[in-house]
Homo-oligomer: A and B are copies of this chain.
Amino acid sequence: MMENPTKFIVEPNKQEVFIIREFDYPREMVFKAHEDPELLVQWLGPDNRKVKIDYYDSRTGGSYRYLICNQAGKEVAAFNGVIHEVTFPERIMQTFEYEGLPERGHVTLDTILFEDLPGKRCKVTIHSVFRSLSDRDGMMQSGVETGVNEGYVKLEKLLALMGSIA
């Protein structure tokens, strides 16, 4: 089966990025895999990395923090944010901050939109808004494309598993 491609839209002079990916599964399932921390840890992030939840209160008004660890279990990155809105199965809006930068405050506002497609498929759009162009360009240079792609391949495998259990 052909893999669904991930599309990054990074326009010049815009402090935003769109990441668009289709999945061969219904949006309710794909939403669940984003909302439930126990599912999220099974697919988020690049290959050869493990996600460890520090805390994850997955609801409107909640907040989260998770670590990315290498195969030896050593923390290599940490991320945190607050959750503005969780509307099943349509939309998650949250802030997002990578803790590894020399100073705090390089936060994004991320909207994850889940749209129905015919044939029990769906489209996921991440819209990230940055505080500056340089924040955006810094993020794009950090290897985020590889990480997102590899994560989505793992997500498709998890969805296949969820589909066969359901």
Copies of this protein chain in the complex: 2
Q: Are B82 and A104 in contact (CB-based, < 8 A)?
A: no
Q: Are B111 and A109 in contact (CB-based, < 8 A)?
A: no
**Whole-angstrom distance between the alpha carbons of A84 and B82 in the complex?**
6
The count of residues in chain A whose C-beta lies closer than 8 Å to any C-beta of chain B is 26
Given A15-B129, A63-B61, A130-B129: A93 touches B105 (CB 8 Å cut-off)? yes
Interface of A is mostly: strand
A13 within 8 A of B: yes
A window 1-34: CB within 8 A of B? 13-16
A121 within 8 A of B: no
Query: 1/0 per residue A49-93: CB within 8 Å of B?
Result: 000000000000101000000000000000001111101000101
**Whole-angstrom distance between the alpha carbons of A118 and B97 in the complex?**
32
Given A14-B15, A15-B14, A111-B131: A63 touches B85 (CB 8 Å cut-off)? no
